[in-house]
Amino acid sequence: MIDYMPLTASAMLAVLAVAETQAATLQQCPWPRLALLQLDDCLYLLCRDALQLRLQQLSSGDSSPAYVAVSYLDSTPYLAMASEQAITEISLQLQHMCTLILSAEPGSNNSSCTMKDVTSVGGMPIMPTLSGWLLQYPVVYLAYPDTAGVMAQLLSETVLVLYDVQIAGPFVQDLKQLSVQDQLASMFAFTVPETVFSYCSAAVSHWKIEVTEQLFVRATNKVLTDHSIVSCRLAPHNVQI
């Protein structure tokens, strides 16, 4: 995801066109099928093949994350697991969005990357929910324009279990020029409210198995050039924000 960068969609497409041309000249690896999604002020750079797989999973009901939403008890808001109706609605929204992206045309004559702006399309998920789903977090905050502020306030008052995926290996030192004892790089992180953690534990456990297997496959397939992943730390930490 490219978040709040001072680049327009057209400028990003131009950058991708140059990169695609250079990749074709080097002939070292095939250029991936990419798509650029714009929602409000955010640009999302997506792999079309991976998005196609996510759409198939949505259609079949597989690999659905645990959704946390705002609920009310006597007009008092609190964080709870989303209802089945809300999960069905967000699944349909995501399916519609994926279909729009996959059916889009190339955004430039010089690049195969497709482009779709869904800012004015009704029924699209807002950024926190979309970002969590695209990044395949096992727990996703199901926010709406009228509840996003309330959710942010509730999260600021809640103890969160933080999962920070960190990897270690020679490539970390090469990229970040770190000392030997600091060869750790954070890939991504997500949080789970402690109050609903027991309801999300199964999704988190399944995710931990999947992400560990994916990292192992990437290392053995040499996707990370000639380096390998030495370790992956998935330990949670309780934080208060």
Q: List the one residue out of 166, 181, 167, 178 whose CA is nearest residue 237.
A: 166
Position 205 pLDDT exceeds 80: yes
Instruction: Give SS3 for 193.
Output: strand
Give the start-end residues of each E strand in 128-234.
Answer: 139-141, 159-168, 185-193, 231-233
> Among residues 197, 207, 201, which one has the least CA distance to residue 160?
197
pLDDT above 70 covers what percent of the chain? Answer: 76
Write 201-204 long-range contacts (CB < 8 A, 24+): 202/66, 203/65, 203/66, 203/138, 203/139, 204/66, 204/138, 204/139, 204/163
CB of 87 within 8 A of CB of 67? yes
Do residues 64 and 90 lie in contact, with contact meaning Cβ atoms separated by under 8 Å? no
Is the model's pLDDT at 232 over the cut of 50? no
Helix axes 84-102, 127-134, angle to 10 degrees: 70
CA–CA gap between residue 38 and residue 24 (Å, rounded): 26
Of 164, 182, 167, 143, give the one whose Cα is nearest residue 223.
Answer: 167
Q: How confident is the model at residue 240 (pLDDT cuts 50, 70, 90)?
A: very low
pLDDT at 58: 86
Instruction: Check residues 116 and 30 and name the one with the higher pLDDT.
Output: 116
| Verdict on whether the full-model pTM lies above 0.85 | no
Q: Which range, of 17-26, 110-119, 205-214, 219-228, averages the lowest pLDDT?
A: 219-228
80 pLDDT higher than 80 = yes
Residues 7-52 have pLDDT tens digits of: 788 888 888 888 888 888 877 677 888 999 988 878 888 999 989 9
The predicted model gives 197-208 an average pLDDT of 89
> Which range is least confidently modeled, 96-105, 147-156, 181-190?
181-190
Q: Cβ atoms within 10 A of the Cβ of 72, count?
A: 11
pLDDT band at 200 (very low <50, low <70, confident <90, very high): very high
Based on C-alpha coordinates, what's the Rg of the chain?
Answer: 19
Looking at residue 241, its pLDDT comes to: 40
Q: Where are the alpha helices (DSSP H) in 61-147?
A: 84-102, 127-134
Say if CB 170 and CB 184 are below 8 A apart: no
